[in-house]
């Protein structure tokens, strides 16, 4: 049993001394390493703290610069948006002016077409293609041309308004994005190490694949501003064109209306003069009819007055045929009686011929009287159409396009 329990090994004094020295050196070395690690850790902590603070200051500065950049472009976009909005509102007013101008052409066109239709009711020889008709046709053509020009200009205005709104839409969208980015960066600039809402967002620590470069970012807004500026300038040019078109078309229409009115006045004067001359001739013809009727009656009376002398002469000749024997003599009385009968017959024949001529002339005068009366009625009808129906109707023409 005694052999089972062995005593612990024993070391020499030197071994004991060496062991202690070894432990002393090991502890000293470990302590030195620990001290160096602590010093290095403190140095690194100080360095990282300074780096972190410096980086945060740099980030804050970059955020402030970014906010300034966004605010600058937001101001530019706001200014350009106000300009394009005001310009588009003004162009909308010009579009309304064009619409009123087109509407204002409808009444003069209706009046001109009505005048043309009314003048188709002129009768007989007065249904002539005169200066009035030519000017009315030119007036219709002018008004229709003006309406077509105004409608084309109206289409240009509508298209420009669409382009202005498109530019305005892109500016507004850019502004909304700028405002959103400004709010985000402004919020980010207020975050500090002590902000309670901060946290980790490992998935956000990256450069997004769909992000753009600062140059692209500036170019995007610059392009939107340039497009808006271009459309604003085009809109201003179009408004200037519209002003010119309204003034020019109003002047063209007024000039043509004045020419047509002048042609009407001249035609009315010509018709009145012609009617007056016809009435003068009608009066003379009627006087001549009266004279010819008297002449006709006198001729008939003259022919009737020859019946008694003829009867006397023939009765004498008849009685003288009853003379007996040698008394039936061809004496001068006999010859003169025969001559008298022939003379009366010849005179009656001549009077008959004049009576036939007088009756023919009377028919001609009455026919001419009828023609003159009909032509006077035609002229009166033409005067009523031109002076009453047309000229009074045309008093309602008011060319006020350029005043819109």
Q: What are the pLDDT digits (tens) for 204-221?
A: 666 667 778 889 889 999
Taking a C-beta distance cutoff of 8 angstroms, is the pair 140, 108 a contact?
Answer: no
Q: What backbone torsions phi and psi does residue 204 show, to the nearest 5 degrees? A: -85, -10
**What CA–CA distance (Å, rounded) separates 145 from 136?**
14
Q: Find the range with the poorest average confidence among 101-105, 237-241, 314-318, 342-346.
A: 314-318
| CA contacts within 13 A on the Cβ side of 273 | 6
Q: Is a pLDDT exceeding 60 seen at residue 184?
A: yes
Cβ atoms within 10 Å of 128's Cβ, excluding its own? 13
Residue 404 pLDDT > 70: no
- φ, ψ of residue 7 in degrees (nearest 5): -75, 155
pLDDT of residue 403 exceeding 60, the answer is no
Q: For 301-359, write each residue's pLDDT tens digit.
A: 888 988 888 888 888 878 888 888 877 787 888 888 788 888 888 888 998 998 898 88
Report pLDDT digits (tens) over 124-145: 888 888 899 999 999 999 999 9
Tokens representing 223 are 């392009």
Q: pLDDT averaged over the chain?
A: 88
Segment among 69-73, 249-253, 272-276, 318-322 with least mean pLDDT: 318-322
Q: Specify the 3-state DSSP secondary structure of 393.
A: helix
pLDDT of residue 228: 94
Contact 157, 260 (CB under 8 A): no
Listed residue (308, 306, 331, 309) closest to 320, CA to CA: 331
The CA-based angle 59-62-65, given to 5 degrees, is 155
The CA distances from residue 247 to 105, 140, 155, 177, 242, in Å, are 14, 19, 18, 44, 9
pLDDT value for 185: 81
CA 211: distance to chain centroid? 48
pLDDT of residue 3: 52
SS3 200: coil
Is residue 259 over pLDDT 90? Answer: yes
Per-residue pLDDT for 78 more than 50? yes
Q: Sort 389 into a burial class: Cβ within 10 Å, 0-12 / 13-18 / 19+.
A: middle
Residues 196-221: b if buried by 16+ CB within 10 A, e if exposed: eeeeeeeeeeeeeeeeeeeeebeeeb
pLDDT at 203 over 70: no
**Alpha-carbon dihedral sign for residues 143, 149, 154, 155:** positive
């Amino acid at each position: 049993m005694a052999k089972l329990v062995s005593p612990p090994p024993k070391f020499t004094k030197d071994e004991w001394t060496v062991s202690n020295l070894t432990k002393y050196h090991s502890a000293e070395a470990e302590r030195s390493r620990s001290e160096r690690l602590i010093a290095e850790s403190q140095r690194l902590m100080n360095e990282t703290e300074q780096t972190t603070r410096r980086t945060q200051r740099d980030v804050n500065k970059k955020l402030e610069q970014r906010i300034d950049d966004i605010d600058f472009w937001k101001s530019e976009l706001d200014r350009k948006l106000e300009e394009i909005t005001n310009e588009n509102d003004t162009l909308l007013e010009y579009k309304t002016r064009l619409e009123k101008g087109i509407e204002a052409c409808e009444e003069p066109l209706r009046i001109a077409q009505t005048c043309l239709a009314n003048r188709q009711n002129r009768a007989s020889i007065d249904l002539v293609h005169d200066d009035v008709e030519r000017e009315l046709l030119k007036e219709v053509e002018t008004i229709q041309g003006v309406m077509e020009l105004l409608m084309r200009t109206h289409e240009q205005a509508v298209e420009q308004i669409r382009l202005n709104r498109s530019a305005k839409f892109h500016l507004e969208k850019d502004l909304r994005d700028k405002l959103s980015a400004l709010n985000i960066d402004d919020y980010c600039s207020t975050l500090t190490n002590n902000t309670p809402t901060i946290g980790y967002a490992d998935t956000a620590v990256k450069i997004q694949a769909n992000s753009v470069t600062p140059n692209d970012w500036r170019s995007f807004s610059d392009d939107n501003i340039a497009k808006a500026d271009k459309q604003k300038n085009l809109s201003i040019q179009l408004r200037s064109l519209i002003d010119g078109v309204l003034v020019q078309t109003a002047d063209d229409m007024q000039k043509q209306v004045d020419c047509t009115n002048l042609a009407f006045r001249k035609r009315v004067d010509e018709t009145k003069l012609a009617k007056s001359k016809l009435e003068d001739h009608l009066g003379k013809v009627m006087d001549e009819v009266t004279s010819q009727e008297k002449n006709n009656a006198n001729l008939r009376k003259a022919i009737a007055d020859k019946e008694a002398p003829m009867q006397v002469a023939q009765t004498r000749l008849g009685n003288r045929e009853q003379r007996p024997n040698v008394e039936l003599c061809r004496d001068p009385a006999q010859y003169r009686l025969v001559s008298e009968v022939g003379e009366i017959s010849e005179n009656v024949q001549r009077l008959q011929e004049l009576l036939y001529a007088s009756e023919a002339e009377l028919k001609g005068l009455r026919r001419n009287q009828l023609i003159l009366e009909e032509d006077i009625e035609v002229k009166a009808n033409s005067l009523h159409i031109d002076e009453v129906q047309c000229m009074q109707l045309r008093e309602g023409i008011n060319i006020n396009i350029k005043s819109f």
